[in-house]
Amino acid sequence: MKSPLITNKKILVAGGVGFLGTTLCKKLLATGNQVIALDNLYTGRQDNVALLQNYPEFSFINHDIIEPIDISADLIFNLACPASPPHYQRDPIFTTKTSVLGSLNLLELARTNNARILQASTSEVYGDPEQHPQTESYRGSVNPIGIRACYDEGKRCAESLFFDYHRMHGVAIKMIRIFNTYGPHMDPNDGRVVSNFIMQALSNEPLTMYGTGAQTRSFCFVDDLVDGIIAMMASPQEFTGPVNLGNPTEFNLLELAHMIIELTGSTSQLVFLPLPQDDPQQRKPDISLAREKLGWVPRVALREGLEKTIPYFAEFLGQQQQSSVNFFRSEQLI
């Protein structure tokens, strides 16, 4: 699918130098927009700031959306929130604040600017689902007091706030629910399964498999996902969503692990560890609504996407190893 063009807009991307934000900013800059990335660098990366600063219409503001900000924009994308369990569980209160207070601040900004605003929600709102695949009408099976609740419930509350601002103040909202996504610009150490497996395989270390590996996920390549995000923002105003964005092709984690070992030529074996609390057993989107309303379907198969992703991690690992060598040499000279 070719994304509808968004052009000649002043665009604010909260979480703009994170994994998804970096790819989104690049695509928006390529079509003639002025893009401001707002990020507190909690999980966003300084390397991504440097990459995006090559574009003359890009600017970066180091800011936490928990605090209000006054800035003009035509469109606002809210991608700001740590999205991997190790990151969002590191400070669960901060994670909830990011989803709730951050959404309030950006919604107020949208209201005062008369701007359209998109919320990046998540398949985590479905919890450990009792319906498979998950449609947008499914209300989920979430543990509100579990260790993942800061993210799950934070995103569910953000959805509620968006629709209340739409009903009460007429704010033009767009709501997407993102399923597992991977690709270049991921933080190699973010603790998500694709990055974990690739980094371990490239280092010929054991791949850590939580549970039996029979649990399933549906992996969407980042370029496909960002095309869906742009299509949603460009869709007719009356279509608010929520809409699922993800790849409906389902794989179990054992299949993913063996594919990564094969593609990296690794000698890694698997080591099995206990399954974390509230980890979903199945995750697969029903994308009928995205197909109907946006004309969106993912195009990149898992193997092809991994072939595009592994070199990014290999380059990162090479730079890390070179830095260690340089440090060792400098130590020897002292």
3 state SS of 38: strand
- Residue length of the chain: 334
Q: What's the CA gap between 107 and 102, in Å, rounded?
A: 9
Backbone dihedral region for residue 211 (phi beyond 0: left; psi -120 to 50: alpha; all else: beta): left
Measured at the CA of 319, the angle between CA 23 and CA 84, to 5 degrees, comes to: 45
The H or E element containing residue 10 is strand 10-14
- 37 SS3 class: strand
The pair of structure tokens assigned to 245 is 């964005």
Q: Which helix (H) or strand (E) holds 30?
A: helix 19-30
- In 56-154, which ranges are E strands? 58-62, 75-78, 116-122
CB distance 156 to 150 below 8 Å: no
- Residue type at 176? I
What is the residue type of 18? G
Give the DSSP letter of residue 125.
G
For residue 9, CA distances in Å to 69, 73, 238 come to 19, 8, 20
- Contact (Cβ atoms closer than 8 angstroms) between residue 213 and residue 253: yes
Interstrand relation of 207-210 and 181-182 (parallel, antiparallel or unpaired): unpaired
Catalytic, out of 151, 165, 182, 210: 151
User: Residue 36: beta bridge partners?
Assistant: 12, 59
Instruction: Say whether 151 is catalytic.
Output: yes
For 133-155, give the DSSP string. Answer: SBPTT---B--TTSTTHHHHHHH
Distance from the Cα of residue 261 to its chain's centroid: 24
Catalytic residue positions, numbered: 151
